[in-house]
Structure 1
Amino acid sequence: MSLLLNKKDLKKAAEELSVIKLQDVIRQLNDVLEERQREAETIEELKALAKQKGFSLQQLGFQVQHELVSSEVPGESAEKRPVKPKLKTINKDKQYFYVDGGKLQLLKTHTMKQGLRDRGIDILSYSDVSKKHQKEVQALLAEAEKQAIANFNAKVKIWNLWAEANGGEQLSAK
Structure 2
Amino acid sequence: MSLLVNKKELKKAAEELSVIKLQDVIRQLNDVLEERQREAETIEELKALAKQKGFSLQQLGFQVQHELVSTEVVAPADKRPVKPKLKTINKEKQYFYVEAGKLQLLKTHTMKQGLRDRGIDILAYSDVNKKHQKEVQALLADAEKQAIENFNAKVQVWNDWAKAHGAELLTTR
TM-score (norm 1): 0.61
For 2:130, the equivalent position in structure 1 comes to 131
For 2:168, the equivalent position in structure 1 comes to 169
C-alpha separation between the residues in 1 aligned to 2:172 and 2:145?
Answer: 13
C-alpha separation between the residues in 1 aligned to 2:74 and 2:115?
Answer: 46
For 1:122, the equivalent position in structure 2 comes to 121
Pairwise mapping of residues 137-156 of structure 1 onto structure 2 (< 5 A)? 137-156=136-155
Alignment equivalent of 2:22, drawn from 54, 64, 67: 64
Share of identical aligned residues, percent? 68
Unaligned runs of 5+ in 2: 31-69
Give the CA RMSD over aligned residues: 3.4
C-alpha separation between the residues in 1 aligned to 2:128 and 2:163?
Answer: 46
Once the two structures are TM-superposed, the CA of residue 113 in structure 1 deviates from its matched residue by 0.4
C-alpha separation between the residues in 2 aligned to 1:75 and 1:56?
Answer: 26
Once the two structures are TM-superposed, the CA of residue 80 in structure 1 deviates from its matched residue by 1.3
C-alpha separation between the residues in 1 aligned to 2:116 and 2:74?
Answer: 49
The change in CA–CA distance for 1:142 and 1:73 in structure 2 (over 3 A counts) is: same
C-alpha separation between the residues in 1 aligned to 2:168 and 2:108?
Answer: 30
Once the two structures are TM-superposed, the CA of residue 79 in structure 1 deviates from its matched residue by 1.6
Q: Where does structure 1 differ by over 3 angstroms across 4 or more consecutive aligned residues?
A: none
C-alpha separation between the residues in 2 aligned to 1:141 and 1:122?
Answer: 19
The change in CA–CA distance for 1:110 and 1:159 in structure 2 (over 3 A counts) is: same
Give the secondary structure class of the aligned counterpart of 1:98. Answer: strand
Once the two structures are TM-superposed, the CA of residue 57 in structure 1 deviates from its matched residue by 2.1
Once the two structures are TM-superposed, the CA of residue 108 in structure 1 deviates from its matched residue by 0.4
The change in CA–CA distance for 1:120 and 1:72 in structure 2 (over 3 A counts) is: farther
The change in CA–CA distance for 1:131 and 1:81 in structure 2 (over 3 A counts) is: same
Pairwise mapping of residues 24-63 of structure 1 onto structure 2 (< 5 A)? 56-58=16-18, 62-63=20-21
C-alpha separation between the residues in 2 aligned to 1:142 and 1:89?
Answer: 11
Once the two structures are TM-superposed, the CA of residue 74 in structure 1 deviates from its matched residue by 5.7
Pairwise mapping of residues 73-84 of structure 1 onto structure 2 (< 5 A)? 73=72, 79-84=78-83
TM-score (norm 2): 0.62
The change in CA–CA distance for 1:62 and 1:119 in structure 2 (over 3 A counts) is: farther
C-alpha separation between the residues in 2 aligned to 1:95 and 1:140?
Answer: 10
Once the two structures are TM-superposed, the CA of residue 64 in structure 1 deviates from its matched residue by 2.3
Equivalent pairs counted in the alignment come to 123
Amino acid across the alignment from 1:115: G
Once the two structures are TM-superposed, the CA of residue 62 in structure 1 deviates from its matched residue by 4.6
